[in-house]
Structure 1
Amino acid sequence: MTTAFYPGSFDPLTNGHLDVLAQALRVADRVVVGVGIQASRKPLFSFDERADLIHRSLADARPERSGDIEVVSFDDLAVAAARRVGATLLVRGLRDGTDLDYEMQMAGMNRQLSPEIQTVFLPAGASFRPITATLVRQIAAMGGDVGAFVPKPVLDALVAKNRQAAS
């Protein structure tokens, strides 16, 4: 059984993340989504909220594969977390050449640290390439419609979160 580790902040999960996750499920039997936790950052969604949104979004998009993912938190190196969950693949999504340059450097360093873990680059679909979680958070906080950029469970959670912040 091939296990892939897909690390990120997923704050919030975007359609681009979901696209890469669906692709990862085509190359691996099981995907562990690693939600990076940084003490220095204040996320919009808690780890539990992000884990729930990832599970619900995948269940909507690919119900037949929803049992093939696990969501874990990690606060150390992605390759260390990948090793802990038994992953042999480290999934990285790419949007453009800038991502590729950065990710190539990271893949080289990760290979030095954990040569048994292979980095796999998966390109986001063309319609998802401009989407970033940072832009989604900013647009949603300013009352913009982010429905085209995030799965429905995430949209509902963003609307509720922003409604709560406004009251």
Structure 2
Amino acid sequence: MRRAVCPGSFDPVTKGHLDIVGRASRLFDEVVVAVMINPSKSGLFPIEERVELLGLVTRELPNIRVETFRGLLVDFCRAQDAPVVVKGLRAVSDFDYELQMAQMNVGLAGVETLFMPTNPLYSFLSSSLVKDVAKWGGDVSAHVPELVARRLRDRFAAPPAPAAAD
């Protein structure tokens, strides 16, 4: 079986992420979407909710499995029997960083990295940008699945104003 890993924080998952995962699903028998647990970072969505969202928005792809991992990506890849990592590249600046990681991963464990150029529709898109726009009430529905857009709206909904004193 040809298995690959698509790692990331997915906080939140965007249409750009889903484009890469979907394209990878056509190239490999199984794709493990690996949600990184980083205890030094607090995300907008808890890990469990990210896994839930990814499972729901990828349910139409029968060869996708969503898992969490902490530690070295290469150790996770070994445990999953996945010799390939698939990463999307938006711009040259992504390549500089990702190339270093890819070279380290192949040196540490022989895990290869397949770089996929991002669909131009999503080349500017990042989870951080989506969160920033949503936080200020902007419409992110063109950039994330509708379920994720609803969760973002709920997360950033303004609390009710306190009642005025008589």
Specify the alignment match of 2:95 in structure 1. 100
Q: Which of structure 1's runs of 4+ aligned residues deviate more than 4 A?
A: none
SS in 1 for 2:42: coil
Q: Tell me how many residue pairs correspond in the alignment.
A: 160
Mapped partners of 2:159, 2:5: distance in 1: 36
Bigger Rg, which one: 2
Instruction: Report the alpha carbon displacement of residue 124 of structure 1 after superposing the two structures with TM.
Output: 1.1
Mapped partners of 2:8, 2:159: distance in 1: 28
Q: Letter of the 1:162 partner, please give it.
A: F
| C-alpha contact 1:57 1:152 (8 A) present in aligned 2 | no
Mapped partners of 2:113, 2:20: distance in 1: 14
* Structure 2 gaps, min length 5: 161-166
Mapped partners of 1:53, 1:73: distance in 2: 13
SS in 2 for 1:34: strand
Q: Which of 63, 67, 81 is 1:68 aligned to?
A: 63
Q: Which has the higher helix share?
A: 1
For the pair 1:86 / 2:86, whether they are aligned, the reply is no
Give deviations 1:131-152, integer Å, cap 9, x for gaps. Answer: 0100101110111111111111
TM-score, normalised to structure 1, is: 0.91
* Structure 1 gaps, min length 5: none
Specify the alignment match of 2:50 in structure 1. 50
Specify the alignment match of 2:10 in structure 1. 10
Mapped partners of 1:27, 1:119: distance in 2: 14
SS in 2 for 1:110: helix
Identity %: 40
Specify the alignment match of 2:128 in structure 1. 134
Specify the alignment match of 2:152 in structure 1. 158
Mapped partners of 1:82, 1:23: distance in 2: 19
Instruction: Report the alpha carbon displacement of residue 166 of structure 1 after superposing the two structures with TM.
Output: 3.0
Instruction: Report the alpha carbon displacement of residue 14 of structure 1 after superposing the two structures with TM.
Output: 0.6
Give deviations 1:107-156, integer Å, cap 9, x for gaps. Answer: 111110011x2211111100101001001011101111111111111111
